[in-house]
Structure 1
Amino acid sequence: MAGEQISAVALLAIPGGIALFGYDGFTVAVDILLTLRVILPLAQKIRNTGRYTMGDLFGLRAPGSAPRIAAAVVTLVITLPLLTVQLRAAGISVSLLIGISTDAAQLICMIWIGCLVAFFATVGDLRGMTFMQVVKVPVTLTALAVLTWLALGRFEWNPGHLLTAAVNRSTAPGEYLSPGLWPYWTGLGSLNIAGQHLVVILGTAMTPHLLLRIGASRSGQAARRSVSIASVLVGAFVVLLAAVGFASGALVGSKDIGAADGNGQSSLLLLAYDVLDGGTPSRVALVTAIACVTFLAVITAVTSVTFAAAASLTHDVFARHLRRASDTGEARPLRLVVVLLCALGLSLSAATRHYQVEFLFNFAMNVAASCVFPVLIYSLFWTRFSRRGLLWSVYGGLALCMVLTTFSPEVSGTAYALWPEADFSWYPLQAPGLIAVPAAFLLGWVGSVTSRGNSRVTTSRTSSTRS
């Protein structure tokens, strides 16, 4: 469970964000921990339903094929942007690790990572990926702890001195420890920032791979206990991420990190180079260890997302045809869907590698928060939730996310937009979920209370459950 939260995006982007933007980067790190606090009160109920895919969860109170189709659509809309962004980040990171950051090298590394992901997801199945996640957690925490310990040693074991050096070597010392330095924030100030954090927290908690991990627990109590233990481990991870982020700013400097990589994804590797003297075996060992941790995080994160999406699509789309088949019969299309997803993700990553596509990650989180969170809450806690309410909530939330994202500053009108030269944005916030999430709740309620025969269906189910 903790391994699912230690993703490539978190490991690479957050220390760089802290090194470059200080306080704003640190608040993004805290979002990872708050995600598990959202899952904690829901984990036991989710596992007790006996459902483990998005379509199964959508079918709790809305039987039929339409909810499963809606679940498949939402799964694809969430997964493909995540694959596109993470495969692109993987290509950049691996090319930096081997010391060749040309466009051709990044493309080759991206294709190589995609092939490895397809292989691991096809051969390893859920048990194999669980083993990889279990190995990743202590290895990552140990590597970050060693890096933090060595960095503190350079500042006489005084965290205050390290933080002061990070402030002094930043591009804006007077604003480094205050909100507002993050260049991606646009419009409406604190409302925009709070909305973005809220939607990312809710969306990350509702991703298909995390729900699959909860459903794979042995029992409801085991799921809740896993989330509790994962919260402690992820808390340690967040603390170490913050430490190495500030250490990167102090030892490497924001200007040098930004010159090497505008998004700061190379900050961990640059810190490993600078924290020890050059030419020593210890430095070579440390850089190698950080490279291995980075590679392991990339492989496990992308493989987990791919496998969970493939499992959900296979089970939800082919469930009727494979109802009487064995597990082997369902495993064959699963492997095919894994390969197709990786091929599609690689194609999108290659086609968009020259564009600013980081907004796709936020888009996926907004869709998860708007289309999955309301449905899950209603399905678990409201007996009158109906098929119409589910479909209205899902497709209404999805339509709002697509429209508001298209006309937001993340697509046009800003320096970090997909098309910075054009300006057709009229929605001022970066988080369409700030509108889409309450709208999806409202649509789910209206659709349910106006459903014909909803009260009779509810009474029948209640009587059946009691008997």
Structure 2
Amino acid sequence: MRTVTLDQMSLAAGAGAGAHRSLIIGIFLAFVLVTLGITLWAGRRTSGTADFFAGGRSFTGFQNGLAISGDYMSAASFLGVTGTIALFGYDGFLYSIGFLVAWLVALLLVAEPLRNSGRFTMADVLAFRMRRRPVRTAAGISTIVVSIVYLLAQMVGAGSLVALLLGVSGGTAKQVIILGVGALMILYVTVGGMKGTTWVQIVKAALLMAGTALLTVLVLHRFGWNISTLLGAAGHAGGKGSAFLEPGLKYGATSVSKLDFLSLGVALVLGTAGLPHILVRFYTVPTAKAARHSVNWAIVIIGAFYLMTVVLGFGATALVGPKAIKASNPAGTTAVPMLAERLGGGAGSTGGAVLLSVISAVAFATILAVVAGLTLASSSSFAHDLYAQVIRKGRATEKQELRAARLAAFGIGAVSVVLSMFADKLNTAALVALAFAIAASANLPTILYSLFWKRFNTRGALCSIYGGLLTSVVLVVFSPVLSGKPTSLLPHADFAWFPLENPGLVSIPVGFLLGWAGTLLSRGEADQAAKYAELEVRSLTGAGAH
């Protein structure tokens, strides 16, 4: 199979053909306008906190399953994972496995009891049997930090995608694009709330599955529907032969990389059950049964999607080539759009321009839907937990709470935009893996202890959240993610003393251990047994939670 040269695969050249440029921008803008229309439609039907934070609990299990899939199948999945597979073969496929298996933890341990026990945010459950103000403060801070790290991945993906789509280059162009994505993100949240965000995610999930399925069919057809032929061509084009299909290209060469792989796997499998923007989706359905059904549907949809990313990743290696992919984006983020252009007929062809624009628009809709969900989760936590319960001590009106949520969306969006402008060299899948590690370190131990450990108390919750959060963030700051490598956030600096790129192997056990130690080293609270008994009833039946 012939590998396309760098000149042939230059997206700037492909997108730059005058007639095709107008076609690409037109199709792209059409997708954006549709999602904006949905947001404005939903915004007119959002009237209170229940609508804004939980969509009025009006979505069915299937609808919420689609929305969860839309929230979960982010730029990291469509762009980052596929690009990692295209560059590293088998080792990139490990991301797909980790993201999928993680849902079993969410289904078996978290989905139903969390839906039954809370109203709008994760902190509703954590604060029920603890001292509310300190626990809500800790949970709110953790939610915002995890959401911002996750948002970085989406913004980086958006900058690379749209810059390539429009045929522009340079840091300034990407920064302008990221600023535009941030503005759209804030508009989605402040106008549409959870209802608008959910419907955008449903539409986006359907579009993403359709687009991924189309590319998968085209790739398989190109190789005679023979997976073996596809893998052989990918191994040859990747320049590694059979090694491209075996472990070791990214992880396994050294003891450190083996530990990094183990850390990545632990973070991916445990992180989903602690992600705030996923947890809040369980509150949008009317019953616990619907929550279970939504997770079941999500597993089916997400499983099919990740199987297709394998075909797309190896297809990009075989048809585009790793040199062209790296020349476009060193982290491989643009492998899918480049594959789409190639399958449509190549740079400069009408078919290539149409398929490129459609797939890029779908990917951009994916990013918009996910950033809206993340911003909504973090701004809701600020308004409902920090503002209403901590700052106003429970005396805030619904109108004041909604205003605080909208203002928080502006602030969180601004911080995410600024940070994203310096993170364009990082792979989106790796960035999301960091968010998973932080969520699994700070949120998951506290959730599980609160739901299932009778003795757990306020000090244990604070030790778990703050300890897991600080440990994971500090290890990331002093890891190769931030300095010490050409692909680091600060490539010309070197203060990385922690060798692993993902902190999960250390920070997750620390989060669990600190929660356990903090509980045992403090005295029990007066009504601890009674509160746990009431929470247990709520988690099993949902009585009194809503």
TM-score band, normalised by the shorter chain? over 0.9
- Given that 2:129 and 2:531 are in contact with CA atoms closer than 8 Å, whether structure 1 keeps it comes out as no
Partner of 2:333: 265
- Given that 2:331 and 2:427 are in contact with CA atoms closer than 8 Å, whether structure 1 keeps it comes out as no
User: Could you tell me how far apart the structure 1 residues matched to 2:138 and 2:164 are?
Assistant: 39
- What do you get for the CA RMSD once the two structures are aligned? 2.3
Quickly say closer, same or farther: Cα 1:462–1:181, change in 2 above 3 A. closer
Letter matched to residue 10 of structure 1: S
Letter matched to residue 380 of structure 2: A
- Given that 1:60 and 1:379 are in contact with CA atoms closer than 8 Å, whether structure 2 keeps it comes out as no
Quickly say closer, same or farther: Cα 1:144–1:362, change in 2 above 3 A. closer
- Given that 1:169 and 1:254 are in contact with CA atoms closer than 8 Å, whether structure 2 keeps it comes out as yes
Counterparts of residues 204-219 of structure 1 (less than 5 Å): 204-219=272-287
Partner of 1:457: 527
SS at match of 1:431: coil
2:268 to 200, 205, 209: 200
User: Could you tell me how far apart the structure 1 residues matched to 2:193 and 2:158 are?
Assistant: 21
Query: Structure 2 length as normaliser, TM-score?
Result: 0.80
Per-residue CA distance 1:272-322 (angstroms, 9 max, x = gap): 111133566544432222122011011111111111100111100122338
SS at match of 2:326: helix
Residue 303 (str. 1) matches residue 372 (str. 2): yes
User: Could you tell me how far apart the structure 2 residues matched to 1:462 and 1:84 are?
Assistant: 37
Quickly say closer, same or farther: Cα 1:296–1:355, change in 2 above 3 A. closer
Quickly say closer, same or farther: Cα 1:452–1:197, change in 2 above 3 A. same
- Given that 1:171 and 1:255 are in contact with CA atoms closer than 8 Å, whether structure 2 keeps it comes out as no
1:5 to 72, 95, 116: 72
Farther off after superposition, 334-343 or 97-106: 97-106
C-alpha displacement of 1:162: 1.4
Quickly say closer, same or farther: Cα 1:240–1:355, change in 2 above 3 A. closer
C-alpha displacement of 1:20: 1.0
Residue 289 (str. 1) matches residue 358 (str. 2): yes
1:370 to 437, 441, 451: 441
1:22 to 85, 89, 92: 89
1:412 to 456, 459, 483: 483
Partner of 2:54: none
Per-residue CA distance 1:146-186 (angstroms, 9 max, x = gap): 11111222222222211111111003224211112127987
User: Could you tell me how far apart the structure 1 residues matched to 2:204 and 2:380 are?
Assistant: 22
Partner of 1:101: 169
Quickly say closer, same or farther: Cα 1:140–1:4, change in 2 above 3 A. same
Partner of 1:317: 386
Quickly say closer, same or farther: Cα 1:143–1:460, change in 2 above 3 A. closer
Per-residue CA distance 1:388-431 (angstroms, 9 max, x = gap): 11111112222322333333333333343334454443333333
Per-residue CA distance 1:213-254 (angstroms, 9 max, x = gap): 112222111111100111000011001111111111111111
User: Could you tell me how far apart the structure 2 residues matched to 1:416 and 1:22 are?
Assistant: 19
- Given that 1:36 and 1:205 are in contact with CA atoms closer than 8 Å, whether structure 2 keeps it comes out as yes
Residue 179 (str. 1) matches residue 226 (str. 2): no
User: Could you tell me how far apart the structure 2 residues matched to 1:40 and 1:463 are?
Assistant: 23
Counterparts of residues 104-183 of structure 1 (less than 5 Å): 104-182=172-250
Letter matched to residue 228 of structure 1: N
Residue 238 (str. 1) matches residue 330 (str. 2): no
1:229 to 287, 297, 306: 297
SS at match of 2:244: coil
User: Could you tell me how far apart the structure 2 residues matched to 1:46 and 1:368 are?
Assistant: 16
Quickly say closer, same or farther: Cα 1:347–1:423, change in 2 above 3 A. closer
C-alpha displacement of 1:204: 3.2
How many residues align? The count is 464
- Given that 1:322 and 1:329 are in contact with CA atoms closer than 8 Å, whether structure 2 keeps it comes out as no
Partner of 2:455: 384
Quickly say closer, same or farther: Cα 1:355–1:292, change in 2 above 3 A. closer
